[in-house]
Amino acid sequence: MPESTIEPSEPRSAVRSLLRLWPYLRPVRVRLFGSVAVAVTASCLALLIPLVLKWMVDGPVADRDPAGVWLGGGLVLGLGLLEAGLFGVRRWLVARPMARLEAQMRGDLYRQLQRLPVAFHDRWGSGQLLSRGTNDLQILRMFLTFPLVFLIVNGVTILVGFGILLSQQWSLGLVLLLPVVPLVVLCAYFESRYALAARRAQDQIGDLTTLVEESVLGIRIIKAFGRHRSQAVAFREQSHRLRTTELRKARLLADLWALITGLPDVALGAALVFGSVQVADGALSAGTLVAFLSTALALRWPVESLGWLLSISNEAAASADRVFEVMDAPVPEEPDEPEAEKRPGRDDPPAGPADGEGPDGIRFSGVRFRYPDAPEGTPDLLTGVDLHIRTGETLALVGATGSGKTTLTTLLPRLYEATGGRITLDGMDSAWLARPVLRAMVSTAFEEPTLFSASVRDNVLMGAPGATEGDLMRALETAQCGFVHALPRGVDTQVGEQGLSLSGGQRQRLALARAVVGRPRFLVLDDPLSALDVHTEALVEAALRQVLASTTALVVAHRPSTVMLADRVALLDEGRITAVGTHHELLRDNTAYRWLMSGGGEQADERIEGIPA
């Protein structure tokens, strides 16, 4: 298993990465800043406690005044309770908006994933996307709820605290300030390293998620081929990589923590000795020293927590980068957007059917295509496809395995964009049609029939959300899906990953029903009979003939039985259509076609005898 397949974007400052969250924070800014103000007040109230102590030591304690001591004690208790109450209010202020913000970001990310082209999903491991939508968003919510607020609160508390310390005894205050410069330099040094390790760990979590997902989805293959061991080894290696990175993070954090707690403690010890000498000399009151040391101790947590807060901030910055890498991925423009008019190579306006002419069917003119991630130097997969499928006609597309048949069919609903040429549907350039309009016109049943964790009804109606119960029943009947009525809850039975498991043939028939339920103007079937037994194949064929009679269809065919569904056949070879004709004509005149239909190989010619002509 390779390490992360996604190149991390340029390393950039954590602040810049986190600032990108501002559009999400804007609507909740009042509550956020309110919670910061409440927390700063609570934290500064805690700094008043040492001042009360100073008053008690120099006043009621020195004067042996019990009433004053009780008053002081009551004040300290009151301040403590107020501080706790205010921190409770802070949590109440941000908990709900932050949960909503996380849900909103997750929703936006999901929407973006749905809008991104198939080519994007080809490049990205699903685990990478999954971990960004779960783990990274959770880290961001945690950061916004707690560390962000406390970075500000603790920063302000430290400033106010040092103000109090310097005002009480400036020379002791300066002793405590001595470690600040080395601390800042060393923190910056560790932070830059921690940021890299945090990013690497999050990418590795994505890779590990991909591996686990593939192992779960492919469990049958792993078991059937006895691949548990090699999968376990791949998993161990991947998780070992993650463990190494996490340990590196822990080491960096430990070093940072040691510095952040060690240096101030040394300074505090020096201030204690220096202050005690001053008290002994009578230059400082005992109450002032107690207040000074209490204030310094009250600042320990805000200072110590900085290391932890900075590390979480770096993790959140890495998460923000990872989430925005997906959010920033370009989504193909729609023709109704103004830029569409500047689309390169699309200078001609969209044309409808000419007056007086009937619909034109599907027309490929000089269509070229190469996959965006195809290795450099390899020729285009489609080098100039010219093909006309007349209205109402069914055309079978035949070609050697890997010749690009499936690829050509994906260009029709624009799952991939053709890199050259033009495809027209009833005279309209498909590149000018908005995708939702185009996909309502072109319906597809893929070779791999994917069902979702939903009822039979929902799976089929996905093909035409506005379809009626009658349409549903007709589509099920057409695709020979009578078996659904015998399922425990009929068409309301849950199927798919989390539901009842269906056989390959049953899944394929449901996918067919989904493709035909909306009575599409254009139908694309990618080897629709591949997983059916001979008996069912005959039934589906008969039903398909009815559907195909009323639509214009492109059917990828591997076998003579599928070809027999079509009016004409086109042969795809080396990126072009090299022959078009009826099955009989091509069998008679085209050696390559004869060879393909016979299944190829040495006995091909003998088998040709058996092909229905």
DSSP assignment, residue 487? S
> Is there binding between residue 377 and ligand ATP (CB under 6 A)?
no
> Is there binding between residue 407 and ligand ATP (CB under 6 A)?
yes
In the block, residue with structure tokens 């690497």: 200
In whole angstroms, what is the distance from residue 564 CA to residue 557 CA?
Answer: 9
Query: Of these, 6, 153, 381, 438, which contacts ligand ATP (CB under 6 A)?
Result: 381
Query: Of these, 31, 200, 249, 405, which contacts ligand ATP (CB under 6 A)?
Result: 405
Helix axes 170-177 and 228-280, enclosed angle (nearest 10): 160
> Is there binding between residue 373 and ligand ATP (CB under 6 A)?
yes
Give the Cβ contact number of residue 468 at 10 Å: 11
Using CA atoms, how far residue 236 sits from 39, 242, 251, 471, in Å, is 44, 10, 22, 51
- Toward ligand ATP, which CB reaches closer, 373 or 376? 373
Triad 273, 274, 280: Cα angle to 5°:
85
Q: For residue 184, how far is the Cα from the chain centroid?
A: 36
Query: Of these, 50, 97, 399, 496, which contacts ligand ATP (CB under 6 A)?
Result: 399
Give the E-state strand segments of 283-341 in sequence order: none
Query: Of these, 226, 402, 470, 488, which contacts ligand ATP (CB under 6 A)?
Result: 402
> Is there binding between residue 403 and ligand ATP (CB under 6 A)?
yes
In the sheet that holds 522-526, the strands lie side by side as: 442-445, 522-526, 552-556, 394-399, 568-573, 576-581
Binding mask 287-306 for ligand ATP (x = CB under 6 A): --------------------
**Least distance (Å) between residue 398 CB and ligand ATP:** 9
Q: Is 497 in a helix, a strand, or coil?
A: coil
Q: Token pair for residue 527?
A: 């080897």
Stretch of 51-59, 204-212, 394-402, 429-437 contacting ligand ATP, by CB under 6 A: 394-402
> Is there binding between residue 414 and ligand ATP (CB under 6 A)?
no
- Toward ligand ATP, which CB reaches closer, 381 or 484? 381
Query: Of these, 401, 436, 466, 486, which contacts ligand ATP (CB under 6 A)?
Result: 401
Stretch of 1-9, 220-228, 338-346, 366-374 contacting ligand ATP, by CB under 6 A: 366-374
Stretch of 317-325, 397-405, 485-493, 577-585 contacting ligand ATP, by CB under 6 A: 397-405
- Toward ligand ATP, which CB reaches closer, 443 or 530? 530
**Least distance (Å) between residue 526 CB and ligand ATP:** 7
Q: Are 119 and 5 in contact (CB under 8 A)?
A: no
Stretch of 369-377, 480-488, 591-599, 602-610 contacting ligand ATP, by CB under 6 A: 369-377
Dihedral sign, CA of 577, 583, 585, 589? positive
> Is there binding between residue 595 and ligand ATP (CB under 6 A)?
no
Give the E-state strand segments of 442-556 in sequence order: 442-445, 454-455, 494-495, 522-526, 552-556
Query: Of these, 99, 374, 434, 549, which contacts ligand ATP (CB under 6 A)?
Result: 374
Binding mask 69-108 for ligand ATP (x = CB under 6 A): ----------------------------------------
The residues in 125-184 that bind ligand ATP, with binding defined as CB under 6 A, are none
Binding mask 423-452 for ligand ATP (x = CB under 6 A): ------------------------------
DSSP assignment, residue 500? B
In the sheet that holds 362-369, the strands lie side by side as: 382-389, 362-369, 420-425, 428-429
**Least distance (Å) between residue 390 CB and ligand ATP:** 23
In whole angstroms, what is the distance from residue 309 CA to residue 304 CA?
Answer: 9
Binding mask 522-561 for ligand ATP (x = CB under 6 A): ----------------------------------------
Query: Of these, 371, 452, 483, 595, which contacts ligand ATP (CB under 6 A)?
Result: 371
Residues in CB range of 43: below 8 A, 6 or more apart? 83, 153, 154, 156, 157, 302
In whole angstroms, what is the distance from residue 554 CA to residue 275 CA?
Answer: 90
- Toward ligand ATP, which CB reaches closer, 40 or 556? 556
In whole angstroms, what is the distance from residue 15 CA to residue 425 CA?
Answer: 50
- Toward ligand ATP, which CB reaches closer, 401 or 591? 401
Q: Are 459 and 452 in contact (CB under 8 A)?
A: yes
Residue type, 268: L
**Least distance (Å) between residue 375 CB and ligand ATP:** 9
DSSP for 173-208 reads HHHHHTTHHHHHHHHHHHHHHHHHHHHHHHHHHHHH
Site size toward ligand ATP (CB under 6 A) is 13
> Is there binding between residue 496 and ligand ATP (CB under 6 A)?
no
- Toward ligand ATP, which CB reaches closer, 104 or 578? 578
- Toward ligand ATP, which CB reaches closer, 402 or 470? 402
The residues in 102-131 that bind ligand ATP, with binding defined as CB under 6 A, are 122
Name which of 259, 264, 314, 18 is nearest 158 in CA terms: 264
Residues that bind ligand ATP (CB under 6 A): 122, 371, 373-374, 381, 399, 401-407
